[in-house]
């Protein structure tokens, strides 16, 4: 290497200037810019308008008590609840009953742990009226929870229930759905036997972790319900476990960005529009009723009843044409 080239290369190496004491000066310290504040967890206003007053709660209770069916001879609108194990199907039935009894009830047995389905038979859960009143104009059927692979409820039995083929007290068998060759199979179901609204129950804290197998089963059941023109909604339970804001105050549910995100996941995974995703906090640990929890339950029931009654009207029109 020529001397001139070596000199040129050395001249490119940065040097530190010495201070008056002969020591090299240190580079000046530059503070790092402050981190941006975290995004807010809430919207500025409710993105789904909701009235939380006691008067609104009582009005919805009265409206549902006096709800007029499209066909009075049917007796009760039948709502079929299904979903993963531990999602809160039985708890939702009890929560609805709590609202109308104005006290804690336990008609639908709830498992203490979510690992195994507690519901083993196909039973109709009626909602009592006030003392001396007849049953309210809607009823629930709670079925075994869906599990992965061959465990849990066989999807064909849910389809049998949709069509009204399952008898009261039928015992579920995960491996052998009820065959139309069995004597207990209802061959000619009445309007009362058929499902008027399919209600998917999913928990907000687990929706993003549901197995592909369970989601596939739910989609297949939904597809059959759609073919039968049965209206469908999703009741999203346990919002308090998915959002700390809601855990502290249920009224913040429609301010919460986390809850709206969970509802959007429900919509995307199950294929239902956002206005059919109904968040509800079930009664579980509470010893006394809570007005705000009741409002969410009653909002869900009002939409379910309206959808189911529309379906009953459609079934009635087709029956009249035969």
Question: pLDDT in tens for each of the 322 residues of the chain?
Answer: 544 554 455 444 444 555 555 555 666 777 777 777 777 888 999 999 999 999 999 999 999 999 999 998 898 999 999 999 889 999 999 999 999 998 888 766 565 544 556 678 999 999 987 666 788 999 999 888 888 766 677 889 999 999 999 999 999 888 889 999 999 999 999 999 999 999 999 999 999 889 999 999 999 999 999 999 999 999 999 999 999 999 999 999 999 999 999 999 999 999 999 999 999 999 988 889 999 999 999 999 999 999 999 998 988 887 777 6
The angle subtended at Cα 176 by Cα 175 and Cα 181, nearest 5°, is 170
Residue 193 DSSP symbol: T
Question: Which three-class secondary structure state does DSSP give residue 214?
Answer: helix
User: Residue 95 has which token pair?
Assistant: 């929560």
One-character DSSP codes across 157-170 = HHHHHHHT-PPTTE
Beta strands at 138-142 and 170-171: parallel, antiparallel or unpaired: unpaired
**Distance between CA atoms of residues 245 and 240, nearest Å:** 8
Domain locations in the chain as residue ranges: 54-64+74-107+118-310
Residue 118, CB-side half-sphere exposure with 13 Å CA sphere = 13
The conformation of residue 232, written as its DSSP 8-state character, comes to E
Residue-level pLDDT at 271: 93
Asked if 81 and 141 count as a contact pair (C-beta separation under 8 A), the reply is: yes
Q: Please tell me the number of Cα atoms within 13 Å of 182 on its side-chain side.
A: 12
Residues 6+ apart with CB under 8 A from 232: 197, 198, 199, 200, 222, 225, 226, 272, 276, 307
Angle, helix 212-227 to helix 155-163, in steps of 10 degrees: 20
pLDDT of residue 116: 56
> For the residues of 45-110, what is the DSSP string, one character each?
S-SS-----HHHHHHHHHHHHTPPPSSGGG-SEEEEEE-BTTSSHHHHHHHHHHHHHTS---SS--
At 156 the three-state DSSP class reads helix
Instruction: Write out the DSSP string of 7-35.
Output: HHHHTTS--PPB-TTSPBPPPPP-PPPPP
What whole-number distance in Å separates Cα of residue 57 and Cα of residue 105? 19
pLDDT of residue 319: 74
State the CATH class of domain 54-64+74-107+118-310.
alpha beta
What's the alpha-carbon Rg for the chain, to the nearest Å? 29
Token representation of residue 114? 């979510």
Instruction: State residue 109's pLDDT score.
Output: 59
């Amino acid at each position: 290497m020529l001397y001139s080239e070596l000199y040129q290369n050395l001249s490119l190496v940065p040097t530190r200037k010495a201070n008056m004491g002969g020591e090299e000066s240190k580079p000046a310290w530059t503070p790092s810019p402050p981190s941006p504040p975290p995004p807010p967890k809430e919207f500025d206003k409710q993105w789904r308008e909701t009235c939380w007053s006691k008067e609104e709660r009582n009005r919805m209770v009265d409206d549902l008590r006096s709800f007029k069916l499209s066909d009075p001879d049917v007796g009760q609108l039948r709502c079929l609840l299904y979903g993963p194990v531990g999602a809160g199907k039985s708890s939702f039935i009890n929560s609805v009953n709590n609202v109308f009894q104005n006290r804690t009830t336990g008609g639908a047995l709830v498992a203490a742990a979510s690992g195994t389905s507690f519901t083993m038979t196909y039973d109709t859960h009626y909602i009592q009226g006030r003392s001396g009143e007849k049953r309210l104009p809607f009823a629930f059927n709670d079925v075994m929870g869906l599990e992965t692979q061959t465990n849990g409820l066989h999807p064909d039995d849910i389809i049998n229930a949709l069509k009204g083929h399952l008898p009261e007290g039928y015992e579920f068998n995960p491996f052998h759905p009820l065959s139309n060759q069995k004597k207990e199979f209802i061959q000619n179901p009445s309007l009362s036997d058929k499902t008027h609204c399919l209600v998917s129950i999913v928990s907000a804290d687990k929706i993003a972790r549901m197995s592909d197998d369970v989601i596939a089963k739910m989609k297949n059941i939904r597809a059959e319900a759609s073919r039968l023109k049965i209206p469908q909604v999703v009741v999203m339970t346990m919002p308090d476990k998915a959002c700390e804001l809601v855990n502290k105050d249920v009224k913040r549910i429609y301010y919460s960005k986390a809850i709206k995100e969970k509802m959007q996941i429900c919509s995307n995974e199950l294929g239902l529009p956002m206005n059919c995703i109904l968040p509800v906090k079930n009664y579980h640990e509470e010893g006394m009723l809570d007005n705000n929890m009741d409002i969410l339950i009653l909002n869900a029931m009002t939409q379910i009843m309206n959808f189911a009654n529309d379906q009953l009207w459609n079934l009635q029109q087709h029956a009249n044409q035969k």
